[in-house]
């Protein structure tokens, strides 16, 4: 697997109900954006290493929706769903995000795709939760592992 010198920064300020994620990629904006739009590519990189991903629906368009299931090596399944509200080509997306194992706790997430020039991209994510407790639950779930490992696999796809 390709390793990268691009670290991911995950910030969860104490007492505030949000998480910020920032990561640079050695690939053009169009390629990073497409890796978020194309369900076959998403299936290859999203989530922790060793998990299988089944996508029931992935419509990365305004008012589109998604549902997918991650299955860990022990056979446990975790389902997620949401709606894509705004999607602007190579620029920006807003979606809702719900873990079906903890229903009714929906976050609103935005992704900004920034062209850094020289074929490089900065991806910024901002996720807002209904409560600080819900945000803390997400942080405690090990989501940072899934983000880091997923982005490392995305690097390999973008380099391929």
pLDDT band at 3 (very low <50, low <70, confident <90, very high): low
Q: Which CATH homologous superfamily contains domain 9-159?
A: START domain (3.30.530.20)
- Report how far residue 6's alpha carbon sits from residue 56's, in angstroms, rounded to the nearest whole number: 31
Average pLDDT, the chain: 95
Query: What pLDDT score does 5 carry?
Result: 76
How many angstroms separate the CA atoms of 90 and 14, rounded?
Answer: 32
Mean of pLDDT values over 41-47 = 97
Judged against a pLDDT cut of 70, whether residue 148 lies above it is answered with: yes
pLDDT mean over 115-133: 98
Count of alpha carbons within 13 angstroms of residue 15, beta-carbon side: 0
The pTM of the full predicted model, rounded to 2 decimals, is 0.94
Binning the chain into helix, strand and coil, the percentages to the nearest 5 are: 25, 40, 30
Domain ranges of the chain: 9-159
Give the total residue count for the chain: 160
């Amino acid at each position: 697997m390709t390793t990268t010198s691009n670290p991911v920064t995950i910030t969860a300020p104490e007492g505030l109900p949000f998480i910020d994620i920032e990561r640079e990629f050695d690939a053009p904006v169009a390629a990073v954006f497409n890796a978020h739009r194309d369900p076959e590519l998403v299936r290859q990189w999203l989530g922790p290493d060793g998990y299988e991903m089944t996508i029931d629906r992935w419509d990365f368009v305004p008012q589109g929706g998604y549902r997918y299931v991650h299955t860990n090596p022990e056979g446990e399944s975790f389902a997620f769903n949401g709606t894509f509200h705004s999607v602007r080509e190579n620029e920006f997306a807003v979606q809702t995000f719900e873990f079906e194992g903890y229903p009714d706790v929906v976050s609103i997430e935005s992704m900004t795709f920034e062209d850094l020039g020289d074929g490089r991209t900065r991806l910024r994510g901002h996720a807002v939760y209904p409560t600080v407790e819900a945000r803390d639950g997400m942080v405690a779930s090990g989501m940072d592992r899934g983000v880091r490992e997923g982005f490392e696999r995305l690097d390999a796809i973008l380099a391929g």
